[in-house]
Amino acid sequence: MKLDIYRSTATDNRHFVVAADADLSKVPEPLEELPVTSIDIEEGQTKVYVSGTQAIADIKDHGYHVIDVPADFT
């Protein structure tokens, strides 16, 4: 599944993972205009803090998957 990761403009440490070219209206926070990155992920795969199984399940259920990066992450 091809995914786009957007940074929230409302919360510094929050990112939303959505299916590539998805309708972003389901995301509950405003997002930066362009994705931070795009990735291709398979179920069971873990890459850039994204659990493939959980992200795919959340996107099917809600239209997005949330990543909260710790504020002190460097």
Identify the pLDDT of residue 35: 94
Query: pTM, whole model, 2 decimals?
Result: 0.83
**54, 18 in Cβ contact below 8 A?**
no
Q: Is it the case that residue 9 has pLDDT exceeding 60?
A: yes
Average pLDDT over residues 9-21: 92
**67, 31 in Cβ contact below 8 A?**
no
Identify the pLDDT of residue 71: 64
The string of pLDDT tens digits covering residues 20-54 is 989 999 999 999 999 998 988 877 776 666 788 88
The string of pLDDT tens digits covering residues 56-65 is 999 999 999 9
